[in-house]
Amino acid sequence: METRTGPTSSSAVPSSYDPSRFPAFAVTVDIVILTMSGSTLNVLLVRRGEAPFQGMWAIPGGFKRPTETLDEAARRELSEETGVDAASLLSQFGAYGDPGRDPRMSVVTVAYLAVLRDVGELVAGTDAAEAAIVPVADVLTERLDLAFDHERIVRDAIERVRVELEITGIATAFVGTAFTLAELRAVYEAIWGVQLDAANFRRSVVADEGWVIPTGRRTRPGAAGGRPAELFRAGRAWSRGGPVHRVARPGGRDRNR
């Protein structure tokens, strides 16, 4: 039997194909890295060490290499520019290719969302002069100017997370393997920008044993005294959605149910 090697007729490049007929453009990856610090939602930014936009804050990212996939490029840039080697969640959420978004050339970027429970020590590298964790509110209220169209990308990432809180288990990516209900509630409050009733929240996540499971342990006693908070772990129910949903009140305020 004859063994055929090389590209098949369906995958071979037509002899008449001329790639020079099409304008060249580059592909980059940019990563919006979110993490919680107490009750504050933060984003990881790098200060650009070279032009364009030298000295301005930006989300980590860079050019995709020809030999790597988009996911590989995102993981590499995450490590090279911030020293972060892993994320609880790393997923694509959008693509941006408006003309002029990069003054160097036509650039299409694929945006990723990363969620970290613990950022650890940040180490700026490659073309980043500095890496830091800043409150998301500083970006959304434009107290901090970002390079390129990165403010738009951060806004889109936050909108994506706000939706996913209701339909996925993304909330558990922000907390440790053992967490208090107050820590979990703080994730919803920070991302949705609301204040949730503690008793209602507890009923929502504890009523069904599939959401949170008691570990039998408690936090260490605090300096102010009082009974240490109970620690929970995530149950299997998070794989089918989230237990808390936004309900708009008259006047625009939200409550949980």
Q: Is 183 assigned a catalytic role? A: no
Q: CA dihedral defined by 155, 159, 161, 163, rounded to 10 degrees?
A: 180
235-249 as b/e: b if 16+ CB within 10 A: bebbeeebbbebeee
36, 187 Cβ separation under 8 angstroms: yes
| Residue type (1 letter), 125 | G
The catalytic residue among 50, 72, 130, 209 is 130
52, 147 Cβ separation under 8 angstroms: yes
Spatial distance between the Cα atoms of 113 and 157, rounded to a whole number of angstroms: 7
153, 65 Cβ separation under 8 angstroms: no
Strand runs labelled E in 49-106: 57-58, 61-63, 89-96
Q: What is the DSSP letter of 179?
A: B
Return the axis-axis angle of helices 150-167 and 181-192, rounded to nearest 10°: 130
Active site residues: 130
